[in-house]
A and B are shown apart, each in its own frame.
Chain A
């Protein structure tokens, strides 16, 4: 399909598409409102959008919403950033050092497909119920896609590039910072884009299991109290965070890769 690309849509066509998209999302909310108005579902099974938004408004005014959101975002992002730094460094080092590669390669190929969330009770046992445990769980889960993406990225760097740099007298450190990292960046960013949603999912599960403040804790509390408005308010709040995370990563990608052919393609 590479040869036959679609013509760039005109502004009017794009505006029309955007309007259509939003009207469908609004239609979804209207359908939700109607389903609750007509009593197809009981307010317990599906509370009306109005009552859910009122609940979000009330939580926002009491300040609970911001404490919970800030804590969840902090845990997810702290874990994600630690995983990114550790994962990229480990991936880079593994491509440069045969001994480390020999040691970590099987560990990663066994660890990557495992459901690491199973180790949550073990991490609680070791680190307790505080932020350290939650953030460690996020790091443990988010680091694998970052390591594998970094390794794949560095391996796909053209040999000619590395040889030319060497030939021009680049040292190992310069080679790493000026050739390998930038050339592997697109794949590393893809790994980060996979890891960020994982970080959020894991942060929420950890909060649900350990309780306390945070979006996950608040939602599971609401579920135990059969407070369905609280649960649905949580879903909406969490999906907004998830959406912001995904969009922010995509923006970061186009910012960091402005020099790369993929950015100029469209």
Chain B
């Protein structure tokens, strides 16, 4: 009960903001289309959920982020570890990484649309390309941060090169790697929503644009808040996962 009331106290500013929104919307100072009251937005959300529009488009969006992110994590981690373990890979890849790292990832939206059209493929490729480098850098820096003396000890105790990599280098790379994945996760939502807003015929971003163009602003706000909530929850779930994974370090 105590924890509950302290959580309530902590998050009460959000409640105050929501109430202020409701009051401002009902005061008549703003047109009801540009600032619909939260109560109406919730009703619109229920309608959308009932009609199935929300679930269908949410699933489409989650599939795109999931697939793109999974590819980015696998390819990115492999590249990062290869660069850390093998000098040749580092000399060959580091200029490429350096060249593409500062590229504002949203600039890839038109390219992937040009290559793969308006469907799932272009979004997955976009998310994969855009989210790969943070994972690569995380894996690379993490693997380099492995304690040399630990590695030498493992080798001198007779562990093979591969064995010591698996048992010593990989575990010590995990925190940095997960940090990179967290950056990639946030980026994946940004890229997903932007590309769906701009070039798509399906997904949550598309639904927002469609509802906005139709002038059903209550529903548009409902979807906007849903996407924001999904992004927030994804981050929190990942954070909890990281805490559990890294529990052994304490």
A residues sitting closer than 8 Å to B (CB atoms) are 1, 4, 20-21, 24-25, 28, 44-45, 102-107, 110, 113-122, 124-126, 197, 200-202, 204-205, 208-209, 215-216, 219-220, 222-223, 226, 228, 231-232, 234-235, 238-239, 241-243, 245-246
Interface CB pairs A-B, < 8 A, 10? A21-B94, A106-B10, A118-B205, A118-B224, A121-B212, A125-B212, A205-B197, A205-B198, A216-B106, A238-B103
> Which residues of chain A are near B107, meaning CB under 8 Å?
204, 215-216, 219, 234-235, 238-239
Nearest-CB residue, chain B, relative to A218? B110
A205 CA / B194 CA spacing, docked (Å): 7
A200 CA / B111 CA spacing, docked (Å): 18
A220 CA / B113 CA spacing, docked (Å): 9
Interface SS majority for chain B: helix
Q: Name the interface residues of B90-126: CB closer than 8 Å to any CB of A.
A: 91-92, 94-96, 98-111, 113-115
Most buried by B among A117, A197, A200: A117
Question: Residue B248 at the A interface, CB < 8 A?
Answer: no
> Which residues of chain B are near A215, meaning CB under 8 Å?
107
Q: In the complex, are the beta carbons of A113 and B104 less than 8 A apart?
A: no
Question: Residue B199 at the A interface, CB < 8 A?
Answer: yes
Nearest-CB residue, chain B, relative to A200? B104
Q: In the complex, are the beta carbons of A235 and B103 less than 8 A apart?
A: yes
Question: A113-B232, A125-B217, A243-B102 are known contacts. Are A223 and B189 too (CB-CB below 8 A)?
Answer: no
Nearest-CB residue, chain B, relative to A24? B95
Interface SS majority for chain A: helix
A166 CA / B81 CA spacing, docked (Å): 50
Q: Name the interface residues of B186-244: CB closer than 8 Å to any CB of A.
A: 186, 189-190, 192-194, 197-199, 205, 208-209, 212, 217, 220-221, 224, 227-229, 231-232, 234-236
Partner of B228, one of A24, A114, A209: A114
Partner of A24, one of B92, B186, B227: B92
> Which residues of chain B are near A241, meaning CB under 8 Å?
104
Contact with A along B3-36 (1 / 0, CB 8 A): 0000000110110110000000000000001100
Partner of A119, one of B14, B108, B186, B228: B228
Q: In the complex, are the beta carbons of A209 and B104 less than 8 A apart?
A: no
Q: In the complex, are the beta carbons of A223 and B145 less than 8 A apart?
A: no
> Which residues of chain B are near A226, meaning CB under 8 Å?
114
A242 CA / B34 CA spacing, docked (Å): 34
Partner of A197, one of B16, B102, B198, B236: B102
Contact with A along B41-70 (1 / 0, CB 8 A): 000000000000000000000000000000
With A44-B114, A125-B212, A235-B108 given, name 8 new contacts (CB 8 A). A24-B92, A28-B99, A115-B190, A120-B194, A122-B221, A208-B106, A223-B110, A223-B113
> Which residues of chain B are near A219, meaning CB under 8 Å?
107, 110
Question: A201-B105, A209-B197, A245-B102 are known contacts. Are A220 and B110 too (CB-CB below 8 A)?
Answer: yes
Question: A201-B104, A201-B106, A231-B111 are known contacts. Are A113 and B236 too (CB-CB below 8 A)?
Answer: yes
Nearest-CB residue, chain B, relative to A202? B106
